[in-house]
Amino acid sequence: AKYVYDFSEGNKDLKDLLGGKGANLAEMTRLGLPVPPGFTITTEACRAYMADGQLPPDLRVEVTMAVRRLEDELGRGLGDFHDPLLVSVRSGAKFSMPGMMETVLNIGLNDASVQGLAKFSDDERFAWDSYRRLIQMFGKTVLDIDGERFSGALEQMKDVRGVTADTDLTADDLRELVGWFKQIVHEESGREFPQHPREQLDLAITAVFNSWNTERARLYRRRERIPHDLGTAVNVVSMVFGNLGPSSGTGVCFTRDPSTGHSGVYGDYLPNAQGEDVVAGIRNTLTLADLETLDPTSYAELRQAMRRLETHYRDLCDIEFTIERGKLWMLQTRVGKRTAAAAFRIATQLVDEHLITMDEALERVSGQQLSKLMFPQFDSGAERTLLATGMAASPGAAVGMAVFDSATAQAWAAEGKDVVLVRRETNPDDLGGMIAAVGVLTSRGGKTSHAAVVARGMGTTCVVGAEKLDVDVVAREMRVGKKVVREGDVIAIDGSSGEIFLGAVPVVPSPVVQYLEDGLDVALEHAADDDTRELVKAVDRVLTHADTVRRLRVHANADTPGDAHRARVWGAQGIGLCRTEHMFLGERRVLIERLILAREDAERQAALDALLPLQRADFTEILREMDGRPTTIRLIDPPLHEFLPDLTELSVKVALAAERGETGEVVDRDRDLLAAVQRMHEANPMLGLRGVRLGIVVPGLFALQIRAVAEAAAARLKEGGRPHAEIMVPLAASVMELHLVRDEAERILADVAAEQGVELHVPIGAMIELPRAALTADRMAQAAEFFSFGTNDLTQTTWGFSRDDVEGAFFTEYTERGVISVSPFETIDRRGVGRLVRIAVEEGRRERPDIVLGVCGEHGGDPESVHFFHEVGLDYVSCSPFRVPIARLEAGRAAV
């Protein structure tokens, strides 16, 4: 295998092999942008290393060749005494993992070459500063020495010299610091800091490979569902220096604002600095406007490069750059992460700029982002105490108790408390706390700081750089002027405005929800500002486009007229699942008890007769609400004992009555009830007498429901309505079950049609939720006009997992150990459960070409699953009303 690619050999489509950073460095090189020469070691080399535990021998040779090419190109030698070539070693996986993997700068410096660097650059201070940075980064990332040892020594040096900024240390100070650092390396690792440049290089490459498997990296990947076996690439890049005095510097920028989407110039710049200084919040950064004044030529060149990149990628890009003595260098670019609102705005802005089509705009947003926009926001009319304002880094409205370290955040969150993690700045060690917190707040750093980037990626509310906050981690409090917020005090942070409030602030629904409920005009009228108006319009355009291109219809699961109404307003084209069990609760419970306890047909019939008008009224209302749209009514599904009192409670009650010698009608009834409950007790109720089995065993039960549906449809027809009722049979495993129900149903439908003098067409179909039903779909289709996949039960019965028990019991362990990457109850298991769905679709259609196929489990509203259902050719998905807009969007995305 070829393990090493020069930047001139790769391109942006090779992310699998070169990682995101390497592929984009190659792309920028191809575009002719000023990228320092270098090469990328492939992810394949990383996988080979992980498999063997050592660097592949071929790799060593290829690295030698690549280094020599680099030396020839630049006319300098790695670690030479005269004018040394230095390189950085940078990780870069396929998916960006902010702060996960480590970078080592200035490789090639040693006791000799530092002199050469000083002489060549004519800046002794710079040379020693670079050397101390190398030892510091190398010590921390490669030799695993606690970074505090080095930063502590640096602080101490500054104290001794009586200065506050790193930049105030002199060349002599830094030379002395290098001595300290080398001593720290020796004390902590038991070895000398390696002087040989090639040894430094090989150790750094190995360290990057190893960092793929750190706890932090694994945690991030689990959260983001990134597979553990991809591996990372390594980029070796010739160094350029932002720390060569005031005409040098380093910065990051975006081609558009990643939180609002507005185009303009967004970025942070730090003069006389190297590498991560700018994102670490060590010194306060300047803006790009400041750079324009400082160095107009480099600024103009940077603007040019930003435009080039945005045109080339046709998307928001983020960029890392360095200026070395007035010369601009591009060190990284990628299509930038953005907030959900920005994603919608940017997508439509790019359409208006004729850079992308509406189809592409649809691909640039996701259902997950849409669902984020449906979260409530702070009520601006409510009374609130503003503590301070920072920078809006990741939107949302978070209310929680202030905590000042990651461990406390995790511990309190585990107790079910909402916490806001407050730090001066975050670093990769805070990841656990950031995941646990409902919001993240920092007093330092900009929109590109670690906290901001990571929080945006996770969709966690975040405010950064609130400089008025004096965060005291040791005392576990923060001070704002005279006010003190202690650990446990409630604060509220607004990730869209950057505001920080003392105490809880009430929240109001989102403008997107208002748009969905009341339409575009009302939402625009009520929007708080132009940003909101732009967002609402963008959502409307994208969603409307999704509706025009999607093939899947979207139905909702709704059991009441109220739910049905909301579903329709939010765009549902029908009801895919109307459960009927709640219709037997409340006051009607008594009737069910009577039905179950009945000893004679007459008694049973009386109970059924009493239920009929009630059920008919339920269905009439829902059919009225859904007029003209398919409404799939599922016959009663759960085991009957769910409608009876609890076994233990009832036993106690009966025993007490007996002891006290009580008699009478109530006591007799309780005793009968207890007998019935005992009789119906099942060890595995979910696999027991429920669904169609119940309908077959309990006389009159299904007949009641079918008659109620038929009479409701007849009533609507007579009112001039257009009822589209459908009857769905739950939990059938055999076509014989369907035949029994269908025969009875057809008889009742005919009776009602004759009685009422109307023509009734009520399709009868099967819920496919048992493996056997899927595997015998050809036969099932003989007696079913439609199939609706009940993927919750189908997942339970295919895996043999009890949905109500597994999540807490062993799914965490299963996820950790890689047995599953995501709960199959959340996203459909394509290989197993999905296979059954495919079989049933194919065989069902073969038997009955006009069969209607849908899905009504939770998966109907899960973005990834929606794409699967599109692929297998279902006609519709049905999900909870709240997820209808998400399913519409994803069905559109699946179709383009």
Residues with a catalytic annotation lie at: 450, 856
Instruction: Provide the 10 A C-beta neighbour count for residue 417.
Output: 15
Compare residues 331 and 419 and give the one whose CB is closer to ligand ADP.
331
Please identify the residue of the shown chain whose CB is closest to the bound Mg ion. Answer: 332
Contact of residue 635 among Mg ion, ligand ADP, none (CB under 5-8 Å per partner type): none
Contact of residue 371 among ligand ADP, Mg ion, none (CB under 5-8 Å per partner type): none
Q: Are 255 and 306 in contact (CB under 8 A)?
A: yes
Please name every residue paired with 768 in a beta bridge, in sequence order, or none if there are none.
789
Contact of residue 629 among Mg ion, ligand ADP, none (CB under 5-8 Å per partner type): none
Compare residues 113 and 322 and give the one whose CB is closer to ligand ADP.
322
What are the backbone angles phi and psi of residue 101, rounded to the nearest 5°? -110, 160
Compare residues 89 and 157 and give the one whose CB is closer to ligand ADP.
89
Q: CA-CA distance, 177 to 156, in Å (whole number)?
A: 10
Strands 4-6 and 38-41: antiparallel
H helices present in 283-405, as ranges: 288-294, 296-313, 340-352, 358-363, 367-373
What are the backbone angles phi and psi of residue 137, rounded to the nearest 5°? -70, -40
Q: CA-CA distance, 594 to 613, in Å (whole number)?
A: 17
Nearest alpha-carbon partner for 766 in 726, 796, 799, 710:
726
Compare residues 329 and 787 and give the one whose CB is closer to ligand ADP.
329
Q: Name the one residue in this structure whose structure tokens are 């009159």.
A: 700
H helices present in 162-276, as ranges: 171-189, 197-211, 215-224
Contact of residue 90 among Mg ion, ligand ADP, none (CB under 5-8 Å per partner type): ligand ADP
Q: Name the one residue in this structure whose structure tokens are 């689990």.
A: 222
* Shortest spacing between CB 329 and ligand ADP, in angstroms: 7
With CB under 5 A as the contact rule, which of the stretches 325-333, 363-371, 490-498, 852-860 interacts with Mg ion?
Answer: 325-333
What are the backbone angles phi and psi of residue 66, rounded to the nearest 5°? -65, -40
Q: CA-CA distance, 767 to 732, in Å (whole number)?
A: 7
Q: CA-CA distance, 768 to 536, in Å (whole number)?
A: 39
Please name every residue paired with 463 in a beta bridge, in sequence order, or none if there are none.
392, 441
Contact of residue 322 among ligand ADP, Mg ion, none (CB under 5-8 Å per partner type): ligand ADP
* Shortest spacing between CB 791 and Mg ion, in angstroms: 41
* Shortest spacing between CB 251 and ligand ADP, in angstroms: 9
Print the SS3 string covering 418-460.
CEEEEECCCCHHHHHHHHHCCEEEECCCCCCCHHHHHHHHHCC
Nearest alpha-carbon partner for 826 in 854, 851, 862:
862
* Shortest spacing between CB 538 and ligand ADP, in angstroms: 30
With CB under 5 A as the contact rule, which of the stretches 331-339, 440-448, 545-553, 672-680 interacts with Mg ion?
Answer: 331-339
Phi-psi region of 251 (alpha: psi -120 to 50; beta: other; left: phi over 0): beta
Q: CA-CA distance, 385 to 197, in Å (whole number)?
A: 57
Q: To which H or E segment does residue 375 belong?
A: none
* Shortest spacing between CB 126 and Mg ion, in angstroms: 22
Contact of residue 324 among ligand ADP, Mg ion, none (CB under 5-8 Å per partner type): none
Q: CA-CA distance, 39 to 10, in Å (whole number)?
A: 9
* Shortest spacing between CB 276 and ligand ADP, in angstroms: 5
Compare residues 275 and 439 and give the one whose CB is closer to Mg ion.
275
Compare residues 322 and 776 and give the one whose CB is closer to ligand ADP.
322
Q: Name the one residue in this structure whose structure tokens are 């995790």.
A: 410
Report residue 115 CA to chain centroid gap. Answer: 50
Compare residues 235 and 332 and give the one whose CB is closer to Mg ion.
332
Compare residues 97 and 397 and give the one whose CB is closer to Mg ion.
97
Task: Please name the amino acid found at residue 378.
Answer: F
Compare residues 233 and 373 and give the one whose CB is closer to Mg ion.
233
Contact of residue 275 among ligand ADP, Mg ion, none (CB under 5-8 Å per partner type): ligand ADP
| Residue 332 engages Mg ion in binding (rule: CB under 5 A) | yes
Which residues from 754-813 bind Mg ion, rule CB under 5 A? Answer: none
Q: CA-CA distance, 630 to 567, in Å (whole number)?
A: 13
* Shortest spacing between CB 320 and ligand ADP, in angstroms: 4
Instruction: Provide the 10 A C-beta neighbour count for residue 398.
Output: 25
Contact of residue 239 among Mg ion, ligand ADP, none (CB under 5-8 Å per partner type): ligand ADP
Please tell me the count of residues contacting Mg ion according to CB under 5 A. Answer: 2
Q: Name the one residue in this structure whose structure tokens are 């496919």.
A: 768
Compare residues 107 and 731 and give the one whose CB is closer to Mg ion.
107
* Shortest spacing between CB 547 and Mg ion, in angstroms: 39
Please identify the residue of the shown chain whose CB is closest to the bound ligand ADP. Answer: 90
Three-state SS at 876: strand
Which residues from 305-324 bind Mg ion, rule CB under 5 A? Answer: 320
Alpha-carbon torsion 100, 455, 349, 345, what sign? positive
Q: CA-CA distance, 575 to 566, in Å (whole number)?
A: 11
Write the DSSP symbol of residue 85.
B
Compare residues 5 and 404 and give the one whose CB is closer to ligand ADP.
5
Q: Are 851 and 876 in contact (CB under 8 A)?
A: no
Contact of residue 740 among ligand ADP, Mg ion, none (CB under 5-8 Å per partner type): none
Contact of residue 36 among Mg ion, ligand ADP, none (CB under 5-8 Å per partner type): ligand ADP
Contact of residue 827 among Mg ion, ligand ADP, none (CB under 5-8 Å per partner type): none
Instruction: Provide the 10 A C-beta neighbour count for residue 548.
Output: 9
Give the interface with ligand ADP as residue ranges (CB under 6 A).
36, 88, 90, 103, 105, 237-240, 275-276, 320, 322, 331-332
Three-state SS at 79: coil
* Shortest spacing between CB 454 and ligand ADP, in angstroms: 11
* Shortest spacing between CB 332 and Mg ion, in angstroms: 5
* Shortest spacing between CB 36 and ligand ADP, in angstroms: 5
Residues found near Mg ion in the complex (CB under 5 A): 320, 332
